Structure 1
Amino acid sequence: MTSASLPRRLRCAICLRAQSACICQWVTPVAHRVEVLILQHPLEVANAKGSARLLHLSLPHSRMLTGEVFSEQVLLGAPLEPQGATQTVVLGAKHNILLYPDSPEDRALNLPAPPALAPELLSDPSRLRLIVLDGTWRKSRKMLYLNPPLQQLPRLSLQDMPASNYRIRKAHRADQLSTLEATCAALMQLERCVEPFQPLLRAFDGFVEQQLGYRGGSS
């Protein structure tokens, strides 16, 4: 039998994974006020360990795009309507904030210092849009370098975070979080509310256990 004649694995139309590995049971809709734009590196698309798709499906006011370089209109443009039948642009500018650490490595790349995050921007979470880079540390840093509009944004840098439960991917430090964990932590901070995001974090634990089960529970 040739490779061309092999049956294709059936895929879930929602989570885009093989039906045998569907993660839709972990999708947990969250009522959130801050809009989220997830920029996914192309190498993350087929990564079964990635959490960005689960995050996107659980956040009604989110959009996920794949690529390394994006237009300024996409990065800084008008917000979108919540997920649904239409994805039309609506009126009303958002204050964009990049979820990214203020790293000394930026200076090694000759990146400009990001502007300070003005406290007045945080007064109304519904006027905020959080931009999240989904990729390894090396890939996300490259995305920042290739997209000057992102370099001009104020940053939200998470501090003193607990150890991640993301046991299915290797981390260089215990406090390095998955895209889903980091985004939930950022939304908790921006919306000054913790409880709405707890069900999604518990669902994420189930997602991690599911992935560990595929490899016999090894870490």
Structure 2
Amino acid sequence: MPRPRCERCQRPLAHCLCPLIPDLASRTRVVLLQHPSETAHALNTARLAALGLTCAQLQVGEVFDDLQALLAAPGYRPVVLFPGDDAQVLQPYNASPDPLPLLLIVPDGTWRKARKLLYLNPLLAALPRVTLGEVPPSRYRLRKAPQPGALSTIEAVVQALNVLEAPHSFDELLRPFEALIDGQIDAMGGQTYARNHGGGV
């Protein structure tokens, strides 16, 4: 029999993360486009990001039919957070000549599936791309980064908002994520974690 789950954070009731999820306002509007394969992942960080930001939404799918209306939201500059040769490094709003805040589109999935989302949604692929500059090492201690500088979705969102809206900090958004990681490590045991992931106990 499946364990009862919290309808909001989707975690088992005994491990509900809702008390740790903040309610943070931002100038930036964040839209997380999640590949369907990520929804059942134990560490669904895009969902945590969407729950912790008042100006964020999560959509699940491969093809997003309402993308045109979404991108036409008045008062925002739509961009997609995705690396590439033509991607511009994010800069603080107070250093930008354009007064409009960003509509930050964030694909959520493995690199291959995130690229597939761009391919299947030409409007998304046509958007200007932005990327993070210097980033700290990921706190995602349970998954080996596919390349240097790779972050989980929630970490990427926090880093982007910290840059854009400096000196305001969005680090509080990481509290449920870190608790989730700690819980997974506790469940597997310190020795198993150290053996499989090279971490300390």
TM-score, length-scaled by structure 1: 0.76
Of 164, 171, 181, which aligns to 1:198? 171
Offset, 1:115: 9.1
Answering whether residue 162 of structure 2 is matched by residue 188 of structure 1, we say: yes
Offset, 1:194: 4.1
> Partner of 2:55 in structure 1?
61
> Partner of 2:78 in structure 1?
96
Of 5, 11, 15, which aligns to 1:17? 11
Moved more, 172-181 or 132-141: 172-181
- Checking the alignment, whether the CA contact within 8 Å between 1:75 and 1:150 is kept in structure 2 is no
Offset, 1:157: 0.8
Structure 1: runs of 5 or more not aligned: 1-6, 79-91, 104-112
Q: 1:19 to 1:43 in 2, by over 3 A?
A: same
- Checking the alignment, whether the CA contact within 8 Å between 1:99 and 1:155 is kept in structure 2 is yes
Moved more, 152-161 or 35-44: 152-161
Counterparts of 2:88 and 2:173 in 1: how far apart (Å)? 31
CA deviation digits over 1:104-151, x for unaligned, max 9? Answer: xxxxxxxxx679999533x343xx211111111111011111111011
> Aligned to 1:206, what secondary structure does the other structure show?
helix
> Partner of 1:158 in structure 2?
132
> Partner of 1:139 in structure 2?
113
Counterparts of 1:209 and 1:42 in 2: how far apart (Å)? 25
Q: How does 1:122-137 map to 2 (within 5 A)?
A: 123-125=99-101, 128-137=102-111
> Aligned to 2:97, what secondary structure does the other structure show?
helix
Counterparts of 1:23 and 1:170 in 2: how far apart (Å)? 24
Counterparts of 2:182 and 2:142 in 1: how far apart (Å)? 9
Counterparts of 1:117 and 1:202 in 2: how far apart (Å)? 24
Q: Which amino acid aligns with 1:171?
A: A
Offset, 1:190: 1.8
Paired-residue identity, %: 43
Structure 2: runs of 5 or more not aligned: none
Answering whether residue 120 of structure 2 is matched by residue 120 of structure 1, we say: no
The CA RMSD measured in Å over matched residues stands at 2.4
Q: 1:28 to 1:149 in 2, by over 3 A?
A: same
Q: 1:9 to 1:117 in 2, by over 3 A?
A: closer
TM-score, length-scaled by structure 2: 0.82
Q: 1:154 to 1:145 in 2, by over 3 A?
A: same
Q: Which amino acid aligns with 2:97?
A: E
Q: Which runs of 4+ in 1 moved over 6 A?
A: 113-118
Offset, 1:40: 0.5
- Checking the alignment, whether the CA contact within 8 Å between 1:70 and 1:147 is kept in structure 2 is yes
Q: 1:177 to 1:116 in 2, by over 3 A?
A: closer
- Checking the alignment, whether the CA contact within 8 Å between 1:56 and 1:64 is kept in structure 2 is yes
